[in-house]
Amino acid sequence: MAEEEGPTVELRHRKKPKSSENKDPAKEEKVSDTPIPERTPKHVLFQRFAKIFIGCLAAITSGMMYALYLSAYHERKFWFSNRQELEREITFQGDSAIYYSYYKDMLKAPSFERGVYELTHNNKTVSLKTINAVQQMSLYPELIASVLYQATGSNEIIEPVYFYIGIVFGLQGIYVTALFVTSWLMSGTWLAGMLTVAWFIINRVDTTRIEYSIPLRENWALPYFACQVAALTGYLKSNLNTYAEVHEVYKIYIFSLFLGYLLQFENPALLVSPLLSLVTALMLTKCLQLNMKKGTFIAKIMKVINFYLVCALTVTLNVLMKMFVPHKENGHMLKFLEVKFGLNMTKNFTMNWLLCQESLQTPSQDFFLRLTQSSLLPFYILVLTICLLSMMQVIFRRINGKSVKESIALEDGRIGERPEVIYHIIHTVLLGSLAMVIEGLKYIWTPYMCMLAAFGVCSPELWMTLFKWLRLRTVHPILLALILSMAVPTIIGLSLWKEFFPRLMTELTELQEFYDPDTVELMTWIKRQAPLAAVFAGSPQLMGAIKLCTGWMVTSLPVYNDDDLLKRNENIYQIYSKRSAEDIYKILTSYKANYLIVEDAICNEVGTMRGCRVKDLLDVANGHVVCEEGDKLTHSKYGRFCHEVKINYSPYVNYFTRVYWNRSYFVYKINTVISFQS
């Protein structure tokens, strides 16, 4: 069919007007020799369609299967469908309990507007404090989930908790699909997407925390982040004029940041961000740039001047923004980093407690061992090294005045010239550097590793770049690159299937059970025996569970972005220190607390990292142990409060009356009238 159409097209182009006889024969020959673009054959169009269709089907199927896997694993782990509502809610621990409790509050509100108002002017959660819960805890996901639950009529079909966790699991499916698409776009084959998903699921201990805490903010945010990365990858891949098109990305970034500024109740921290100043400086210098012949001495001088101009403008703009925009200085963050890197020491309880959190530690050796066992880390290092070196070659070429090709062919072996590759290499290096300092950031970096490693081993351009450096002569390099781009991921996939697939199936068939009868008994007692106006004091993690399961007011919350709440947490934790009964009583009554809950797990804590137990940190902060050389050992004349109050002798019984206890919790009523006994 294509052969029959060819001559017709050529005859149409060669058709001349009547006056053409008087024209120059040379020009006529030149016109006739111009290549005529032919229509794409139908079988090629069919192949492209089939490739896209199969890839999209694989991407969507991967996301759906992962979401179903999470749902099945969650059911097996918690026996969710066989539990009462209270037992289900107890599975939400710490700050997760707070997020879900506000979702419940929105569903109970008479209207959406009233619910939002009560959250933004909330005085029913923390005693003596009115908070904007939407701003403080980023509750937009809960607002959207509550609207969807009621607007779709799901309240007649499904329970609120299943709808909530179903949305989160669905987002995780979208997350995996976005990673699939990103790797597919970069490599040109959906095989890379399949390998990305396989590595992501196998290394899920290091790629996600969805199994341990469903409502975490990252479980809502990272899927959208992955979709943005996929969209930007497609944009950069289709627009090779990197200098102009990345300029458009800057505009999108500024618009997004302004939108975030409004949605976060005019958060000034976004306006004084150094990154905003950098983007603005880059846009301004782009407007001031002059077109000069590449390679000339003046052009090189202008590049140096441009670099210093960007740096100077960034610093100047940031200083000006901080001068004119009212904001809170991040002094505590700087102090945290100083202590983190050993540049300073502190006895502050809150600072040391945060440093002891696992998510803020440096990654352990087990993390790298797990990634190596799944073959992810070795291939990631290989791909990163090749792309990084190729990118450095491009930079040196541009410094020397050599032009970058408009279109890059496979035989060129220049993977570092592709704009989307440059973007991802810079991104992964920055994320990796941060993850090496703070382990919690591995949940952003490790999925990126899966995507980048899969793209690299499935990309013929990466292998061609390597072969060009090695100057391979024995075998045709293009042919070998094409073979390796199919063979290597296939071998990796088969080995992963053989080793890890049986483990995944075992996890789904293995019966687990989350059993916490002591907490269930405590919540039941509170709902039946405590007055509605009662205020409870205890560890922030337990207070989050009490807020969710009972709705009673508490003295503190597991929220760490508010100075007042952090101070409250430190003061309430004093119940595990060596302080007098009178001191503890004054602290608790200052927050209008009516009941105190002592947790045996904290009071008798063992086995955690040395010096990171709550009672150890309190002793350091209160000066009851040696912290540095030269300090004197100070003995407290009081025993540890959480131990002494259990013995029921004066003066403890004068201030506190035990009203409930089980194996894990001791509940004391804080006396309003103090009767001193001999």
pLDDT number for residue 12: 40
| Alpha helix segments (H runs only) across 358-405 | 365-373, 376-399
Residue 647 belongs to what H/E stretch?
Answer: none
Cβ neighbours for 359, distance < 8 A, ≥ 6 positions apart: 438, 439, 440
Please give the C-alpha separations between residue 15 and each of 12, 20, 28, 38, 258, in angstroms, as whole numbers: 5, 10, 11, 17, 57
**Mean predicted lDDT score pLDDT of the chain:** 86
Calpha distance 117→133 (Å, rounded):
10
pLDDT number for residue 38: 57
Give the closest residue to 376 by CA, choosing from 452, 444, 443. 452
Backbone phi, psi, residue 600, to 5° = -65, -30
Calpha distance 200→177 (Å, rounded):
11
Q: 17-26, 256-265, 447-456 — which one is most confidently predicted on average?
A: 447-456
Residue type present at position 422: I
pLDDT tens for each residue of 452-502: 999 999 999 999 999 988 887 777 888 898 999 999 999 999 999 999 999
pLDDT number for residue 508: 82
Token pair recorded at residue 134: 């939407």
Residue type present at position 473: R
Calpha distance 500→502 (Å, rounded):
6
Token pair recorded at residue 174: 């979208």
| Residue 571 · residue 618 · CB < 8 Å | no
Cβ neighbours for 66, distance < 8 A, ≥ 6 positions apart: 172, 173, 176, 197, 201
| Residue 122 · residue 553 · CB < 8 Å | no
| Mean pLDDT, rounded, for 7-13 | 37
Q: Other C-beta atoms within 10 Å of 60: how many? A: 15
Collapsing DSSP to helix, strand or coil, 245 comes out as helix
Tell me: pLDDT of 36 over 70: no
| Residue 542 · residue 558 · CB < 8 Å | no
Q: Which of 85-94, 472-481, 639-648 has the lowest mean pLDDT?
A: 472-481
pLDDT number for residue 509: 81
Tell me: pLDDT of 637 over 90: no
pLDDT tens for each residue of 12-35: 443 444 444 444 444 444 444 444
| Residue 256 · residue 275 · CB < 8 Å | no
Q: Other C-beta atoms within 10 Å of 400: how many? A: 10
Instruction: Count Cα atoms within 13 angstroms, Cβ side, for 459.
Output: 32
| Residue 204 · residue 73 · CB < 8 Å | no
Displacement of CA 505 from its chain's centroid (Å): 27
Residue 535 belongs to what H/E stretch?
Answer: strand 535-537
Calpha distance 366→203 (Å, rounded):
12
Give the closest residue to 217 by CA, choosing from 433, 440, 538. 440
Percent of the chain with pLDDT over 90: 56
Calpha distance 105→99 (Å, rounded):
10
Q: Determine whether 397 is exposed, middle or buried from the number of CB atoms within 10 Å of its CB (0-12, 13-18, 19+).
A: middle
> What does 247-305 look like in DSSP terms, one character per residue?
HHHHHHHHHHHHHHHHHTTS-HHHHT-HHHHHHHHHHHHHHH-----TTSHHHHHHHHH
SS3 content of the chain, % helix, strand, coil (to 5): 70, 5, 30
* Residues paired with residue 658 on neighbouring β-strands, in sequence order: 668
Displacement of CA 462 from its chain's centroid (Å): 28
pTM of the model: 0.87
Token pair recorded at residue 445: 């970096």
Tell me: pLDDT of 239 over 60: yes
Instruction: Count Cα atoms within 13 angstroms, Cβ side, for 667.
Output: 22
Length of the chain: 678
Token pair recorded at residue 666: 């001791």
Token pair recorded at residue 399: 């410094």
Calpha distance 240→284 (Å, rounded):
22
Collapsing DSSP to helix, strand or coil, 628 comes out as coil
| Alpha helix segments (H runs only) across 510-604 | 517-529, 540-549, 563-572, 581-590, 600-603
pLDDT tens for each residue of 539-570: 999 999 999 999 999 999 998 888 899 999 99
Give the closest residue to 375 by CA, choosing from 252, 498, 474, 260. 498
| Residue 427 · residue 448 · CB < 8 Å | yes
pLDDT number for residue 245: 61
Displacement of CA 347 from its chain's centroid (Å): 30
pLDDT number for residue 549: 95
Cβ neighbours for 183, distance < 8 A, ≥ 6 positions apart: 192, 193, 195, 196, 451, 452, 454, 455, 458
Percent of the chain with pLDDT over 70: 87
* Cis ω for the linkage preceding 651 (within 30 of 0): yes
Q: 67-81, 307-321, 425-439, 601-615 — which one is most confidently predicted on average?
A: 425-439
Tell me: pLDDT of 180 over 60: yes
Token pair recorded at residue 452: 């980048």
